[in-house]
Amino acid sequence: MRSIRILTAIVTVISATAVSAGAQTITLIDNTSARASLRVGYGGHGPDWDASIDSPLFANVVRVRAGVGQDRWDSEFDSYPDPTVTRLGASAIVFIPSNPNYDVRPYVGLGLARYIPRGAGWNAQTGKRLIGGMEGSGERWTVGVEVEIELPRPSAVDGPSVNSELLPTGRIGIAIRRRF
């Protein structure tokens, strides 16, 4: 009789364990994987947007970002309307070490961009980009605030422009990113 009780107890324990094990789901999230993002912001002359692709995270510190965006830009001539400018850029993003208990990570970046104004007499220009921000991670999504400073500068490659050059500008926005 005692062996039947022990056998019943073992079967009950195994059944209870098997039922709960079948209901468990293990999800692995790779925070270092590549991701796509959309940033919507404001640069002083109206809303702007930027879509980008980030590389996987190298050494848990650096990402490379390539993106395209569009916004209104201030020029050095007040008599001309502010042109709409398309940006093509690439940047290196460095994540600043922070407390591992928090999912918020600050970062800074430096990059190059090509600015293509739309309008008569405007030539494309090249320039530098400075990026700073902080992002918080969830399951596969990342949301954060980002500040960008654009420093266009005409060069010999750009050629002469009737309306000369675009002025440096800054913008702030909210970025939403999805990991692959």
**What pTM was estimated for this model as a whole?**
0.75
Name which of 137, 175, 109 is nearest 32 in CA terms: 137
Range picked from 6-15, 40-49, 84-93 for highest mean pLDDT: 84-93
Predicted confidence (pLDDT) at residue 8 exceeds the cutoff of 70? yes
pLDDT tens digits for 91-112? Answer: 999 999 888 777 788 999 999 9
Q: Which two tokens stand for residue 44?
A: 């002083």
Model confidence at 83, pLDDT cuts 50, 70, 90, reads confident
In the chain, where the domains are located: 35-179
CATH number of the structural domain 35-179? 2.40.160.20
Q: Which two tokens stand for residue 10?
A: 């073992």
What are the CA-CA distances from residue 69 to residues 37, 41, 114, 141 (Å)?
A: 11, 11, 11, 21
pLDDT tens digits for 60-76? Answer: 899 999 999 998 776 66
